[in-house]
Protein backbone atom coordinates (compact mmCIF):
# COMPACT_ATOMS: atom_id res chain seq x y z
CA UNK A 1 0.00 0.00 0.00
CA UNK A 2 2.86 2.34 0.86
CA UNK A 3 4.38 1.79 -2.63
CA UNK A 4 1.01 2.53 -4.23
CA UNK A 5 0.71 5.85 -2.37
CA UNK A 6 4.32 6.83 -3.18
CA UNK A 7 3.77 6.02 -6.88
CA UNK A 8 0.52 7.96 -6.91
CA UNK A 9 2.17 11.03 -5.32
CA UNK A 10 5.13 10.81 -7.69
CA UNK A 11 2.88 10.52 -10.73
CA UNK A 12 0.65 13.38 -9.56
CA UNK A 13 3.62 15.62 -8.80
CA UNK A 14 5.19 14.94 -12.21
CA UNK A 15 1.87 15.61 -13.96
CA UNK A 16 1.45 18.94 -12.12
CA UNK A 17 5.03 19.99 -12.91
CA UNK A 18 4.64 19.14 -16.60
CA UNK A 19 1.42 21.14 -16.73
CA UNK A 20 2.96 24.15 -14.97
CA UNK A 21 6.08 24.17 -17.14
CA UNK A 22 3.99 23.91 -20.29
CA UNK A 23 1.89 26.99 -19.47
CA UNK A 24 4.32 29.51 -21.05
CA UNK A 25 4.44 27.42 -24.21
CA UNK A 26 0.67 27.13 -24.29
CA UNK A 27 0.45 30.92 -23.91
CA UNK A 28 2.60 31.47 -26.99
CA UNK A 29 0.29 29.28 -29.04
CA UNK A 30 -2.95 30.50 -27.50
CA UNK A 31 -4.04 32.86 -30.24
CA UNK A 32 -3.66 36.26 -31.76
CA UNK A 33 -4.56 38.44 -28.76
CA UNK A 34 -1.31 40.46 -28.88
CA UNK A 35 -1.36 41.10 -32.64
CA UNK A 36 -1.66 44.75 -33.57
CA UNK A 37 -3.40 45.28 -36.90
CA UNK A 38 -1.35 48.45 -37.43
CA UNK A 39 1.97 46.71 -36.67
CA UNK A 40 1.09 43.75 -38.87
CA UNK A 41 0.08 45.93 -41.84
CA UNK A 42 3.24 48.02 -41.44
CA UNK A 43 5.42 44.86 -41.39
CA UNK A 44 3.67 43.53 -44.50
CA UNK A 45 4.10 46.87 -46.28
CA UNK A 46 7.80 47.20 -45.41
CA UNK A 47 8.59 43.56 -46.11
CA UNK A 48 6.71 43.67 -49.43
CA UNK A 49 8.80 46.66 -50.45
CA UNK A 50 11.98 44.70 -49.63
CA UNK A 51 10.67 41.62 -51.48
CA UNK A 52 10.17 43.68 -54.65
CA UNK A 53 13.84 44.77 -54.47
CA UNK A 54 15.08 41.18 -54.11
CA UNK A 55 17.58 39.94 -56.69
CA UNK A 56 17.71 36.11 -56.85
CA UNK A 57 21.40 36.33 -57.81
CA UNK A 58 22.04 37.51 -54.23
CA UNK A 59 20.30 34.63 -52.46
CA UNK A 60 22.62 32.93 -49.96
CA UNK A 61 20.17 30.55 -48.30
CA UNK A 62 18.57 27.92 -50.53
CA UNK A 63 15.92 25.62 -49.11
CA UNK A 64 15.93 22.09 -50.45
CA UNK A 65 12.95 19.73 -50.18
CA UNK A 66 13.19 16.97 -47.61
CA UNK A 67 11.22 13.84 -48.46
CA UNK A 68 9.99 11.17 -46.08
CA UNK A 69 8.33 7.90 -46.98
CA UNK A 70 7.28 5.44 -44.28
CA UNK A 71 4.81 2.58 -44.76
CA UNK A 72 2.80 4.28 -47.49
CA UNK A 73 2.99 7.74 -45.90
CA UNK A 74 4.77 10.32 -48.05
CA UNK A 75 5.71 13.87 -47.19
CA UNK A 76 7.72 16.65 -48.85
CA UNK A 77 8.84 19.48 -46.58
CA UNK A 78 10.67 22.77 -47.00
CA UNK A 79 12.09 23.86 -43.63
CA UNK A 80 12.48 27.61 -43.28
CA UNK A 81 14.65 29.00 -40.47
CA UNK A 82 15.65 32.31 -42.05
CA UNK A 83 14.85 34.25 -45.23
CA UNK A 84 15.68 32.12 -48.22
CA UNK A 85 15.02 30.89 -51.73
CA UNK A 86 13.55 27.87 -53.40
CA UNK A 87 14.54 27.10 -57.01
CA UNK A 88 12.59 24.83 -59.33
CA UNK A 89 13.77 22.83 -62.33
CA UNK A 90 11.72 24.97 -64.76
CA UNK A 91 13.71 28.09 -63.71
CA UNK A 92 11.08 29.48 -61.31
CA UNK A 93 12.22 30.79 -57.94
CA UNK A 94 10.59 31.93 -54.71
CA UNK A 95 12.03 34.15 -51.99
CA UNK A 96 10.45 33.82 -48.51
CA UNK A 97 10.59 35.94 -45.34
CA UNK A 98 8.84 35.15 -42.02
CA UNK A 99 7.99 36.75 -38.71
CA UNK A 100 7.36 34.68 -35.60
CA UNK A 101 4.99 35.80 -32.85
CA UNK A 102 7.63 34.45 -30.46
CA UNK A 103 9.92 37.30 -31.59
CA UNK A 104 7.44 40.04 -32.50
CA UNK A 105 4.02 39.30 -31.06
CA UNK A 106 2.48 42.51 -32.42
CA UNK A 107 3.06 41.32 -35.99
CA UNK A 108 2.26 37.66 -35.28
CA UNK A 109 3.01 34.61 -37.38
CA UNK A 110 3.30 35.41 -41.05
CA UNK A 111 5.36 34.44 -44.08
CA UNK A 112 5.56 36.51 -47.24
CA UNK A 113 6.92 35.27 -50.54
CA UNK A 114 7.66 36.67 -53.97
CA UNK A 115 8.26 34.64 -57.11
CA UNK A 116 10.08 35.17 -60.41
CA UNK A 117 6.91 36.75 -61.89
CA UNK A 118 6.93 39.39 -59.13
CA UNK A 119 3.76 37.94 -57.57
CA UNK A 120 3.49 38.16 -53.80
CA UNK A 121 1.94 35.51 -51.56
CA UNK A 122 1.08 35.32 -47.87
CA UNK A 123 0.85 32.41 -45.44
CA UNK A 124 -0.35 32.93 -41.87
CA UNK A 125 0.70 29.55 -40.50
CA UNK A 126 2.46 29.29 -37.15
CA UNK A 127 6.13 30.25 -37.28
CA UNK A 128 7.50 28.59 -34.14
CA UNK A 129 10.51 30.50 -32.82
CA UNK A 130 11.56 31.39 -36.36
CA UNK A 131 10.93 27.97 -37.89
CA UNK A 132 8.15 26.93 -40.24
CA UNK A 133 7.80 23.94 -42.52
CA UNK A 134 5.77 24.04 -45.71
CA UNK A 135 4.57 20.55 -46.52
CA UNK A 136 2.57 18.38 -48.84
CA UNK A 137 1.58 14.85 -47.89
CA UNK A 138 1.44 13.44 -51.41
CA UNK A 139 3.96 11.89 -53.72
CA UNK A 140 4.25 14.55 -56.44
CA UNK A 141 7.04 16.20 -58.36
CA UNK A 142 6.98 19.89 -57.62
CA UNK A 143 8.44 21.61 -60.66
CA UNK A 144 7.22 25.21 -60.41
CA UNK A 145 6.41 28.09 -58.10
CA UNK A 146 2.74 27.74 -59.08
CA UNK A 147 2.70 24.15 -57.82
CA UNK A 148 4.40 25.16 -54.57
CA UNK A 149 1.84 27.87 -53.77
CA UNK A 150 -1.06 25.64 -54.80
CA UNK A 151 -0.02 22.46 -52.97
CA UNK A 152 2.04 23.34 -49.88
CA UNK A 153 0.60 24.29 -46.48
CA UNK A 154 2.10 25.21 -43.11
CA UNK A 155 2.89 22.10 -41.12
CA UNK A 156 1.38 22.85 -37.71
CA UNK A 157 -1.95 24.28 -38.83
CA UNK A 158 -2.37 23.44 -42.55
CA UNK A 159 -2.72 27.05 -43.67
CA UNK A 160 -2.74 27.54 -47.45
CA UNK A 161 -0.89 30.26 -49.35
CA UNK A 162 -2.93 33.22 -50.62
CA UNK A 163 -1.98 35.54 -53.45
CA UNK A 164 -1.66 39.19 -52.42
CA UNK A 165 -3.04 42.16 -54.41
| Residues 6+ away with beta carbon under 8 Å from 129 | 100, 102, 103
Q: What average pLDDT does range 75-85 have in this prediction?
A: 97
Whether 105 has a pLDDT exceeding 60, the answer reads: yes
Task: Report the C-alpha gap between 160 and 82 in whole angstroms.
Answer: 20
pLDDT at position 15: 55
Q: Convert the pLDDT of each residue in 119-154 to its tens digit.
A: 999 999 999 989 999 999 999 999 999 999 999 999
Domain boundaries, the chain: 1-30, 34-163
Q: Cα(41)–Cα(110) distance, rounded to whole angstroms?
A: 11
Instruction: Provide the strand spans (E) within 46-83.
Output: 66-70, 73-80
Mean pLDDT of 49-53: 95
Please give the pLDDT value at position 34: 87
Q: Higher pLDDT residue, 132 or 1?
A: 132
- What mean pLDDT do residues 64-92 have? 96
Q: Best-predicted range by mean pLDDT among 12-16, 91-95, 126-130?
A: 91-95
Q: What Å distances lie between residue 74 and 22, 69, 87, 159, CA to CA?
A: 31, 4, 21, 19
Residue 6, pLDDT above cutoff 70: no
pLDDT at 165: 79
SS (H, E, C) 85-134: EEECCCCCEEEEEEECCCCCCCCCCEEEEEECCCCEEEECCCCECCEEEE
Q: What is the CA radius of gyration of the chain?
A: 20
- Which residues are CB-neighbours of 91 under 8 A, at least 6 positions away? 116
* d(C-alpha 135, C-alpha 119), whole Å: 21
Amino acid sequence: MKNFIMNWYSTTLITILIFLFSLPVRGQHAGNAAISDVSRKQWVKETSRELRKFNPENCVNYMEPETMEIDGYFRISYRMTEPGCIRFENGDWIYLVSNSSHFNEKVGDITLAIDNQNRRFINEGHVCAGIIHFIIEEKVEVKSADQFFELFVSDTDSIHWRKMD
